[in-house]
Amino acid sequence: MRNKPNKEEWVTMFREIGLDDAAMKKWHHLFETRHPDGHEDFLNWLGLSVDDIANIRTGSK
């Protein structure tokens, strides 16, 4: 059994609590604005590619 959720599992959990695409974008924006290094660490922890991380971070500013 894996001990960490992947990106799709995070998205599923966010949707289950009622977050839509706009709310998830706001979540990323707040994370990037308040804790840019932590946001990058989190995206790396998820195992995202360098390009995906760059796109998410750029879109979160």
Question: Domain for residue 42, yes or no?
Answer: yes
Cβ-contact 25, 59 below 8 angstroms: yes
Question: Domain for residue 49, yes or no?
Answer: yes
Question: Domain for residue 27, yes or no?
Answer: yes
Q: Give the pLDDT of residue 2.
A: 66
Question: Domain for residue 41, yes or no?
Answer: yes
Tens digits of per-residue pLDDT, 9-31? 999 999 999 999 999 999 999 99
Question: Domain for residue 20, yes or no?
Answer: yes
**Domain count across the chain:** 1
Question: Domain for residue 48, yes or no?
Answer: yes
Q: What is the DSSP letter of 44?
A: H
Distance (Å, rounded) from C-alpha 11 to C-alpha 26? 14
Question: Domain for residue 54, yes or no?
Answer: yes
pTM score of the predicted model: 0.86
Question: Domain for residue 1, yes or no?
Answer: no
Domain extent at residue 37: 7-59
